[in-house]
Amino acid sequence: MMADKGIKRSSMDNESSSDPKRAKTDAKYNKYLAHYDDNDAQNGNGFSSPLDQLQRHKTTAEQAAKCEDSDLNPWTGQPHSQQYFNILQTRRNLPVCQQRKEFLEMYHKTQILVFVGETGSGKTTQIPQYVLYDELPHQTGKLIACTQPRRVAAMSVAQRVANELDVELGQEVGYSIRFENKTGPKTMLKYMTDGQLLRESMHDHEMSRYSTIILDEAHERTLATDILMALLKQIAERRKDLKIIVMSATLDAQKFQTYFFGAPLLAVPGRTHPVEIFYTPEPERDYVEAAVRTVLQIHATEPEGDVLLFLTGEEEIEDACRRINLEVDDMIQESDAGPMRVYPLYGTLPPAQQQRIFDKAPEPLRKGGRPGRKCIVATNIAETSLTIDGIVYVVDPGFSKQKIYNPRSRVESLLVSPISKASAQQRAGRAGRTRPGKCFRLYTEKAFKKELIEQTYPEILRSNLANTVLELKKLGVEDLVHFDLMDPPAPETMMRALEELNYLACLDDDGELTELGSRASEFPLDPALAVMLISSPEFYCSNEILSITSLLSVPSIWVRPNNARKRADEMKQQFAHPDGDHLTLLNAYHAFKGAEQSGADVKQWCHEHFLSPRHLMSADNVRAQLKRIMETHDIELISTPFQDKNYYTNIRRALLAGFFMQIAMRESSNSKVYKTVKDDQLVMIHPSTVITSPYDWVVYNEFVLTTKQYVRTVTNIRPEWLLEIAPVYYDLEAFDKGEIKSALTRITDKIRRRQAMKGGA
């Protein structure tokens, strides 16, 4: 572990300057603090305030409440608005408010605290404020951070809390997410994504800006949360002044307690309505069919209330929606059923269509007729990311698509798998948000009890960890084996990650971070992409590789509606480059920028060309961020002139600087099957490719496992480039016997002969 002296010392310095007395003395000598008036300033805010009565880490619930009740806002000195008092009323009715005293007493006594609160307890908005009144950040100059797994949550909760505290968002209360930092010099309480805090700590290993870190939604066990927990566990030993609160929904609270040195636990009940659970007596063979039937059954027999059905993916959802719609039409004709509006909901749906799920349920078809309802058919997105009020019936077939990682073949893929008990409970809970509800589980009670696992495996056990290992190295974690993760990944996954990073020259043979690795970790990218980007000036095409990298980091820019596939494919042909998909992406991006610069209506232009304006603009956003990072690291931005015959060749060569491990060779002439280098997987080029020629060697961006094994986003390359650009990986001495080795050996021999001839002449 890296408890080096330099770090210790700096944390001590922070400690002493955070002493309120010292801060005050400093202020006297600081001519820049012109606003500081010693006469009436007790609190550093420049006015007297009820906060002056408070002592850091000694605030009682009563004192804090008194501050909140006062006419003047203790944080700004401005009078409280009427709205403030209205909200205060509702805040005081939240379940968590009952335990403010208990919370503070516990918080005073302990460094780490586990807080459990179910939905509706108010923990996400209130706990950080309770901490605020106890940490008194205006005295210490340190912030309180509260992390969220998702951006929208960080933004919306920050806005809510700003309203509750009667301050402007971005001032005393702010948020920080990728592409948007809405905080300022006055900010005391900062909501942020867990990934954002992780990124910050790469440059501040002690998290010295913060007095308190609250990890919210820890039960979701995102990769970032898991790493933050392990880091905080270490930092807590070095920084005794740092307080940590881990907040979770009930389920595995004890696991968190045990992990954090037996930290004390405080639990607050939620505010939800009871949900009655029904199981099928026999297992269902076709869960989509069973789900459709159940929805119709509810519509025919149950009282008013909306329905939420969980399915696994876009295709399944669209299919189910169609079937439900057809059947409901029949029901209306035949048995005078009420109207039902069916909405699909999944992540790749455009936001405007996602919004439609909040439309009101339809009115009865005639006055006094059977009530209408809406039915939402959703992926897992409705389990965590989106809450829909008014749901009374949940239909849960018990499956979801989950990412799995196979370290042996180094392939991440999506697989329809049974959900966990925790997920099933979460889904059922969606029925009880506004009134008592019902949940229909399309599996047997026995299956629920015996076959479902307790918790979904945390992300860290299901991912390629190359990126994570690089981050950890940059975070100063020397000893990965003893890095105390809550659920340590399989040794093989770790080994694979280390091996990959070593080949990319991000880690040396001793596993130490190299200069390249250190630079690569600065980019919010997978290591291969980062290395490609950093190397690109050597190939005189960093501008172009920057664009390609950005395009590869966002969802596909190609739009292909079911009713216009042919036209979409034709349009794509306009951008096609014969050498492959990477260059085609670049062409489309350049055309998009051209349209933008000529003042065209970009949305209209994209629509005509079957391109996604949303994803192109987000690629542009990513590009700007990556460009800034390149500039700060003096990575040159250059292009080969477009007229130069090597314009595209240089780009193809540059791709190999990062992706030399993702190469496939054609099995034999007139075969469509390729074999991947070193992994020896048989693959086909994904049908979405623009490539029509039977190239012998290709570089690919990703390996996808669906009905067949495919490589997707593919570009033609020359094998001799591999030997030149990645000589270590293509050291033929160490290569396994096979066609690929023989082919490469022939090429090496040819090159040698050519060089010998040149030398001889």
- Write out the residues near DNA by the rule CB under 7 A: 149-152, 177-178, 193, 195-196, 198-199, 222, 224, 312-315, 346-348, 379-381, 385, 400-403, 414, 467, 524-525, 553, 555-556, 560, 565, 569, 672, 686-688, 704, 706-708, 710
**How far apart are CB 106 and DNA at their closest, in Å?**
30
Give the shortest CB-519-to-DNA separation in angstroms.
14
The pair of three-digit structure tokens given for residue 309, joined into one six-digit string = 């059905």
Min. distance of Cβ 345 from DNA in angstroms?
A: 8
CB of 533 to DNA, least distance (A): 13
Helix (H) or strand (E) run with residue 314 in it: helix 314-335
- Return the number of the residue (379 or 715) whose C-beta is nearest DNA: 379
Toward DNA, which CB reaches closer, 57 or 401?
401
Residue recorded with tokens 């990728």: 178
Provide, rounded to whole angstroms, the least separation between the CB of residue 389 and DNA.
18
Q: Is 667 left (phi over 0), alpha (psi -120 to 50) or beta?
A: alpha
What is the rounded distance in angstroms from the CA atom of residue 103 to the CA atom of residue 119? 18
The phi, psi pair for 621, rounded to 5°, reads -65, -45
Q: Which residue number, 346 or 539, has a Cβ lying nearer to DNA?
A: 346
- Closer CB to DNA, residue 464 or residue 543? 464
C-beta of 234: minimal distance to DNA in Å? 21
Nearest distance from C-beta of residue 546 to DNA, angstroms: 15
Q: Closer CB to DNA, residue 82 or residue 562? A: 562
CA distance 624 to 634: 15
Cα 207 to Cα 352: distance, rounded to the nearest angstrom: 39
Q: How far is the CB of 456 from DNA (least distance, A)?
A: 9
Q: Which CB atom, from 59 or from 467, has the smaller least distance to DNA?
A: 467
Q: What sign does the dihedral 604-609-612-613 (CA atoms) show?
A: negative
Least Å distance between CB 527 and DNA? 11
Structure tokens that stand for 148 in this block: 């969220």
CB of 536 to DNA, least distance (A): 19
> Which contacts qualify for 135-138: CB closer than 8 Å, 24 or more apart?
135/56, 135/57, 135/211, 135/212, 135/243, 136/43, 136/51, 136/54, 136/56, 136/59, 137/188, 137/189, 137/211, 138/43, 138/44, 138/45, 138/51, 138/75, 138/188
Cβ nearer to DNA, comparing 49 with 148: 148
Nearer to DNA, 417 or 649 (CB): 417
What sign results for the dihedral spanned by CA atoms 246, 250, 251, 255?
positive
Q: Quick one: 425 exposed, middle or buried, by C-beta within 10 A (0-12, 13-18, 19+)?
A: middle
Q: Count of CB atoms within 10 A of residue 756's CB?
A: 10
| Helix, coil or strand: residue 113 | strand
Q: Are 452 and 428 spatial neighbours (Cβ–Cβ below 8 Å)? A: no
Task: Report, in Å, the least distance between residue 429 CB and DNA.
Answer: 18
Instruction: Report the distance separating Cα 493 and Cα 407, nearest Å.
Output: 5
Q: Identify which of residues 565 and 754 has a Cβ nearer to DNA in the complex.
A: 565
Q: Of how many residues is the chain composed?
A: 761
As to burial, measured by CB atoms within 10 angstroms (0-12 exposed, 13-18 middle, 19+ buried), residue 104 is buried
Q: Which two tokens mark 135? A: 């940490």
Q: Are 147 and 213 in contact (CB under 8 A)?
A: yes
Q: Residue 344 or 432: which CB sits closer to DNA?
A: 344
Q: What is the dihedral of CA 310, 312, 314, 316, to 10 degrees?
A: -80
If the CB atoms of residues 384 and 434 are measured against DNA, the closer one turns out to be 384
